[in-house]
């Protein structure tokens, strides 16, 4: 099962070859950004360490200009801290930081669901969301889930949350959700991977799936407050999973684990 599912959506922006031909400099900057992000999440750049720009230039083979643009972007994403005297350092996260990122995602998704209900969602997107949930139902119909089933769930779950953002019709909220979900562990499927071998894993996903159906029903019925409340509650499953993962010392199964400051 891919451990970096929560970052796959960001990588997909490189797939449009026409854009690369039309904007070669932008394409170079994007590749530098993605490769530098992978270095950070893989622990190749120690948490809290200052970024040595020359080292990155030599390591990745890009010139200073795209590397500097990549550093700015990753600071905006929240993976780097800008230093007072110039330069950047790899950011570290406490357990509270992770919990707050999940809470922020729940708040934004709740707002997105409420707006979708109050404004009226596009029928075609509603139908796509229903089809996505029906596919998840099929995955969860098995009494036990293997690695392939969990991989399918991760893909479909990410798809549903993307459709939920689209239902609101708000490009502003969609952009903020994309930014928040780009943070380590804040993705809707961020803790699904580490829970894959848990005896309670399928039960957890069944509960989450019921919430998916309920929020879609609330949006369809134009019940804004109910839709928002359901998505806020939905994010609490991830909060609970965070606590369980920390207590079970399973964080080494997640990308970006080296960025977390452990409690003494």
Q: How confident is the model at residue 5 (pLDDT cuts 50, 70, 90)?
A: very low
Mean pLDDT of 84-93: 90
Question: Topology of domain 95-251, per CATH?
Answer: 1.20.120
Residue ranges of the chain assigned to CATH 1.10.10.10: 5-90
Residue ranges of the chain assigned to CATH 1.20.120.530: 95-251
Is 258 or 147 the better-scoring residue by pLDDT? 147
Instruction: Provide the whole-model pTM.
Output: 0.70
Q: How confident is the model at residue 198 (pLDDT cuts 50, 70, 90)?
A: low
Q: What angle do CA 252, 256, 258 make, to 5 degrees?
A: 70
Mean pLDDT of 225-246: 86
Mean pLDDT of 225-245: 87
Q: What is the pLDDT of residue 195?
A: 57
pLDDT in tens, 167-187: 999 999 999 998 888 776 788
Residue 136 pLDDT exceeds 90: yes
Question: Topology of domain 5-90, per CATH?
Answer: Arc Repressor Mutant, subunit A (1.10.10)
Q: What is the pLDDT of residue 25?
A: 66
Residues with Cβ within 8 Å of 190's Cβ and at least 6 positions away in sequence, in order, are 6, 102, 184, 238, 254
Q: How confident is the model at residue 117 (pLDDT cuts 50, 70, 90)?
A: very high
pLDDT in tens, 199-217: 677 888 899 999 999 999 9
Question: 224 and 114 in contact (C-beta within 8 Å)?
Answer: yes
Average pLDDT, the chain: 82
């Amino acid at each position: 099962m891919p451990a970096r599912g929560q970052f796959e959506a960001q990588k997909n922006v490189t797939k449009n070859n026409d854009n690369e031909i039309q904007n070669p400099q932008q394409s170079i900057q994007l590749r530098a950004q993605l490769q530098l992000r992978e270095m950070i999440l893989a622990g190749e750049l120690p948490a809290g360490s200052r970024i040595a720009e020359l080292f990155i230039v030599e390591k990745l083979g890009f010139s200073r200009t795209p590397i500097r643009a990549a550093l700015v972007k990753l600071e905006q994403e929240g993976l780097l801290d800008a230093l007072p005297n110039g330069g950047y350092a790899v950011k570290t996260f406490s357990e509270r930081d992770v919990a707050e990122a999940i809470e922020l995602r729940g708040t934004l998704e709740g707002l997105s669901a409420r707006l979708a209900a109050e404004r009226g969602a596009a029928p075609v997107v509603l139908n796509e969301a229903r089809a996505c949930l029906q596919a998840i139902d099929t995955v969860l119909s098995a009494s036990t889930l293997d690695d392939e089933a969990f991989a399918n769930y991760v893909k479909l779950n990410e798809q549903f949350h993307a459709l939920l953002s689209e239902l609101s019709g708000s490009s502003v909220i969609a952009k903020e959700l994309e930014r928040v979900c780009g943070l380590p562990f804040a993705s809707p499927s961020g803790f699904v991977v580490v829970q894959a071998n848990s005896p309670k894993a399928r039960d957890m996903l069944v509960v989450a799936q019921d919430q998916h159906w309920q929020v879609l029903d609330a949006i369809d019925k134009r019940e804004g407050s109910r839709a928002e409340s359901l998505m806020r509650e939905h994010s609490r499953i991830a909060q609970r999973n965070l606590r369980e993962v920390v207590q079970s010392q399973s964080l080494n199964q997640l990308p970006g684990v080296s960025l977390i400051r452990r409690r003494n």
